[in-house]
Chain A
């Protein structure tokens, strides 16, 4: 049996019970001092009467305090719950399934406690009110796969039921009402008890109910009664959330300005003013905005910050707290890099820069980068100077029409690509002899060419070839998605043919000429990348360097070769959706170690999925930054809680009844639980009249005592 109050705030009125004590203390302090001669009689009289009198005074004080407490108690409208325990003990035994909504929306706080905590407390009281012969089980609405497969049965052991309640945790899983009802109904169906009931404690937000109907269930037990208890009331609750964080202007160059945009949404019918939005980079607050949000309005909140030093970084956007904290944070991660140092090796230096092989390349890489920060630092050298260069100072090396290189330089180049992760770009030209090149770069110890080179093809001056195929899905050419025509304007008069473009594994053809000859191929090599452009870097074989497309093409190729795509917003995921981590071909079978924000360690593996190498991950624990590590690299994964639970619009009783027809539902509100005239999940007895009667008796006794004193 338990006691509940409909107006618990009135219980504070019991503090007024201190008033008689305070009055007594005040009067005691104000007591008159009277000098009196007949003290010996007074002392004798006091000795005789004091004990009795004090007892009477204490009694009077207690009665007065009790009267005040009883008044407060009756105003709080007490109800005795579970008062029918004895009657229930005589009734036939009953099977009960307590279905507790542990979806994320139950983390909403109306006061100190979340709705889930209150639901657990209520369920605990309901468990206590069960009769001895009743059996029950506690089921969470959302359940993990392992838990779903574990055997569950009804039990009479109240301690076990309380334990089931205690371990119940909020879940980020997607609400699946049919499965939850099916589990509960199956248990009730299997129960031999003559009476069966389902008690569902939930906030009854719309999410999950939109498509639900009882007819979807294959099992609906007979003689089942449905008791629904709503936490938080039927009205829509206010909520502001961050739905997304975007960072524009890739790649992120250290110290360059960085635009971060948070998308904030007001999911309530009330306008909000001066909602504070904070941007954090790591644990440092780097930006703050105040925004006004109209009812159901969505706003983008822009921040501009300086990109942090080269490396992996994480941050979050925070809203000032509201009732639902789970969607007030949005985590993001990004990688920044230093500007790319490109070594342009000129195989045919002219008398002037304009005449040299690398002139157009240099011009293409010279323009200042985004937002006033240089993206590339190109350094031109003649081919003879390559021996003196320290290759590790560069991310990309472009060999432009270089005739030959010593074995030592070739070996250093090989190490630069395979071990150093550098990018190597070959540009053809009249000095490139396919036979010699194949001998130098298409051999087992320095296999730097993606494909073996064939003989150059010369087109008639009046019949140049244009680019026929643009593989815009490739990272290097992503800029040209929908803009392939820009590239196709270029004319090619001569090019080097390549053999086995479609047969050599790992080789990707990025551009092909109209006749299908490969123009640009690439291949991952160790940690680095190699690309071969079958035409010259200058205007000797093609007019492409004079075309608009040349600059973005070169930027794309150099950026790709330098792995600039990594300098971007890191992968993110919304729980509970699976994260698909894109790997390279050679990552197949590699283990990814994932450290969760709460310090746990999980593993996943890269595996081939068609043409892609994917590592899939779903074992989230909490929202936050997950640290990924493979033997070759580390990365961040920004995981955010689901926003599907952010809408606190409630399903109303009539609609609920419609969706559960033909079963009838008793829907009770948390505050008035047990007051339903009949069929309440928690039968109660109203005590206010009894308390008032007691109050009258106490006052009568007090009056008699006071008059006697």
Chain B
């Protein structure tokens, strides 16, 4: 069993960045996570038989296999491979703003690791996973499918995607609303640099259709802490025409105030809409994100 230190290495985004293959990264994360968990009793009930286990008090009597009782004179509970009805959609922001990273890892890289890990975990659990990459519009839509073979398609796409262009998340969500006919779980991984009100309106729509919505808000440490010291010309990563010369020390307090207000607005709005919102600085180990997902899944 890996030690805590070793476990941390499993989920450290910087460590993961050294692994070339996205599938391997995802597997690395998920298996690292699962090895740390107690065996999960989580088994689904589906039509496909999985195994018998001895009856324990508390099991429903209707699940007792009477044929086995006749044969072995003991009570066995019949277990089946779960046939999940969960369809998860991973929406990954691939706009230029996601290309920003301060410590060798961009927000987009982090988002990809996170998406891949989630996909791996979900596929491993038998869920169908779809993937959408977007900036101002949907770049690519991979419909949800199950099976570990699907992981390759998802990972390949994530590896091939390069962040570019502006973000218009509300447009993307409206566009997807037409495509996602069946309800499922919508996982949005983005820096959400758009008008919170507009985005929340779109998310509300998904919620009304009884989709589970999880928002992984990915931000860089620099964006959250604004640690700059020297006189700097800040240039908009999405529009180079927008630039200001500023002394960071002078505007730091005001900036942090602005960004906190921005985050607070999302948190407040998501809570109101029972949307699971999590802020993930790119330094956050990936197991935290997966645990978050699992908690929601249960």
- Show the binding face of A for B, using Cβ within 8 Å: 27-28, 31-46, 48-50, 53, 57, 709
Contacts and interface: CB of A to CB of B under 8 A. Distances in A.
B100 A49 contact: no
Contact of A45 (B97, B98, B235, B251): B251
B231 A37 contact: no
B255 interface: yes
Interface in B220-234: 220, 222-223, 228, 230-234
B246 A46 contact: yes
A45 B100 contact: no
B193 A40 contact: yes
B103 to A, nearest CB: 15
Contacts of B234: 34, 36, 39, 42
B20 interface: no
Contact of A49 (B223, B235, B250, B259): B250
Given A36-B222, A37-B191, 13 more contacts: A28-B231, A31-B230, A31-B231, A33-B235, A34-B234, A36-B237, A37-B223, A39-B236, A41-B255, A48-B254, A53-B250, A709-B247, A709-B249
B1 interface: no
Contact of A37 (B237, B244, B245, B258): B237
B232 A37 contact: no
A41 B258 contact: yes
A42 B244 contact: yes
B246 A50 contact: yes
B85 interface: no
Nearest to B235: A35
B55 interface: no
A32 B246 contact: no
B259 A33 contact: no
A49 B233 contact: no
B238 interface: yes
A38 B223 contact: yes
Contact of A42 (B230, B246, B253): B246
Nearest to B250: A53
A34 B233 contact: yes
A40 B222 CA distance: 15
B250 A709 contact: yes
A34 B251 contact: no
Contacts of B246: 42, 46, 50
Contacts of A45: 251, 254-255, 257-258
Closest 9 CB pairs of A and B: A45-B254, A37-B97, A41-B258, A45-B255, A53-B250, A39-B236, A45-B251, A35-B237, A49-B254
B242 interface: yes
B141 interface: no
29 contacts: A28-B245, A31-B230, A31-B231, A32-B232, A32-B233, A33-B243, A34-B228, A34-B233, A35-B236, A36-B223, A36-B234, A36-B237, A37-B100, A37-B107, A37-B236, A42-B234, A43-B242, A44-B258, A45-B251, A45-B257, A46-B244, A46-B254, A49-B250, A49-B253, A50-B246, A50-B251, A57-B247, A709-B247, A709-B249
Nearest to A33: B233
- What's the dominant secondary structure at chain B's contact region? mixed
Given A50-B251, A53-B247, A41 B97 contact: no
A35 B253 CA distance: 20
B66 interface: no
A37 B100 CA distance: 7
Nearest to B193: A37
B235 A36 contact: yes
Contacts of B250: 49-50, 53, 57, 709
Given A31-B233, A34-B234, A41 B259 contact: yes
A53 B250 CA distance: 6
A156 B77 CA distance: 127
B262 interface: yes
Contacts of A43: 242, 244
Contacts of B230: 31-32
A452 B230 CA distance: 119
Given A32-B233, A33-B235, A709-B249, A38 B254 contact: no
Contacts of A33: 232-233, 235, 243
Nearest to B191: A37
Contacts of B236: 35-37, 39
Contacts of A40: 193
A38 B258 CA distance: 10
Nearest to A37: B97
B231 to A, nearest CB: 5
B246 to A, nearest CB: 6
Given A34-B233, A39-B236, A49 B251 contact: yes
Contact of B242 (A39, A48, A53, A709): A39
Nearest to A52: B250
Contacts of B228: 34
Contacts of A57: 247, 250
A34 B193 CA distance: 18
Contact of A36 (B100, B231, B257, B258): B100
A133 to B, nearest CB: 59
B98 to A, nearest CB: 8
Contacts of A50: 246, 250-251
Contacts of B251: 42, 45-46, 48-50, 53
Given A44-B258, A49-B250, A34 B244 contact: no
A39 B234 CA distance: 8
Contacts of A42: 234, 244, 246, 251, 255
Contacts of B223: 36-38
Nearest to A54: B250
A35 B100 contact: yes
